[in-house]
Amino acid sequence: MLTVLQEKGYENEEVIAAASQKSIGKELAFGGRMLKVISVEETIAARPDYAIFSAGAAASRQYAPLFVKQGTTVIDNSSAWRKDPEIPLVVPEINIATALQTLRQAPNHASIIANPNCSTIQMVLALSALERKYGIRRIVVATYQSITGTGLKAVRQLEAEESGLWRVENGEWRTTYGKQNPENVPSITPAYAHSIHRNLFPHGGDFQPDGYTTEEQKLVDETRKIFSDPDIQVSATVVRVPVVGGHSEAVNVELRHEFDLDEVRSLIGATPGIILQDDPQHNLYPMPITAHHRDEVFVGRLRRDASQPCTLNLWVVADNIRKGAATNAVQIMQALLERN
């Protein structure tokens, strides 16, 4: 988030870095200076104009209302507020105008805006022009999600497994007798129940009683809310893959009206924040290795589904840490500033 703020020209603004007690006093580079991390309580007392949260749902529920009482607008990157009907769930290129109207009509949470899940953001942005032009009846999506979506612990697990010194056996960590003695191998806490190196597994979030995971449910609920259409049918399968650069999605979308494929390409290519990479004859299609560290959502492999009418297949890739989180949150703040 600090990197994105700096890139977008806020390096000369007063920026406060706040965190939990264990991080107070640490220093972070920003805009040619060092920011000393202070407590959340000190930050609330400073009455900032905007607070961008990325500290988990529990912290958001505890502290966001306290910031709001001080007149701060909170942009929250957790799942805490996404389902609240009074709080807008925003991808700026799609629904910032609707969000502002919602804020004016919802005095109880007038200064909280929710950032969608990373997988949702890239999918709905890729489909937004098609939703406006044709309407969407049904989406079937399989995600191929980067380990960075789980966090630093997952990155450390992959690195440890790549070294050949660790493996998961029967759900537990075991050292392997490689080039180093096990005594010299640093202790690793695994992020997953299985090895992720040279592997993938259909498990993101927690499993629900219906067999779907919480990550899959987010794609259902958030898509409907962002498009303001509770009738859109969404079926999702989340897969974790040993990738660092970003999330990928295979999307099958049934539209409410027939479409022209060339028009679809034009509509998607003209969508702000989208880069169309759709020349498979020259091996041009989106990949996480090229989306890494980029703010755009990349779309390609556009093709008609021959098995039923009004249905399209596409491949969507984005850096889940950038547009899937930090960039989208900063863009929300930018949009609010431009309209105030």
Which positions are catalytic?
Answer: 118, 247
Measured distance CA(145)–CA(190) in Å, rounded: 17
- What is the C-alpha to C-alpha distance for residues 213 and 304, in angstroms, rounded to an integer? 29
Amino acid 316 reads V
Tokens standing for residue 316: 């969507």
Following DSSP, what letter does each residue of 77-120 receive, concatenated? -SSSSTT-TTS-B--HHHHHHHHHHHHHH-GGGTTEEEPPPHHH
Q: Give every CB contact of residue 126 below 8 A, 6+ residues apart in sequence.
A: 251, 268, 271, 274, 297, 299, 314, 316
Measured distance CA(255)–CA(133) in Å, rounded? 9
272-275 contacts at long range (C-beta below 8 A, 24 or more positions apart): 272/93, 273/93, 273/125, 273/297, 273/323, 274/125, 274/126, 274/298, 274/299, 275/299
Contact 289, 316 (CB under 8 A): no
| E strand residue ranges, the chain | 18-19, 27-30, 33-36, 38-39, 50-53, 73-76, 112-114, 136-145, 166-169, 172-175, 233-240, 247-255, 274-276, 297-304, 311-318
C-alpha closest to that of 227 among 81, 53, 113, 93 = 93
Sign of CA dihedral 236, 295, 91, 268: negative
Q: What is the largest CA-CA distance in the chain?
A: 64
CA count, 13 A, side-chain hemisphere, 127: 33
Q: And the tokens for 314?
A: 């596409």
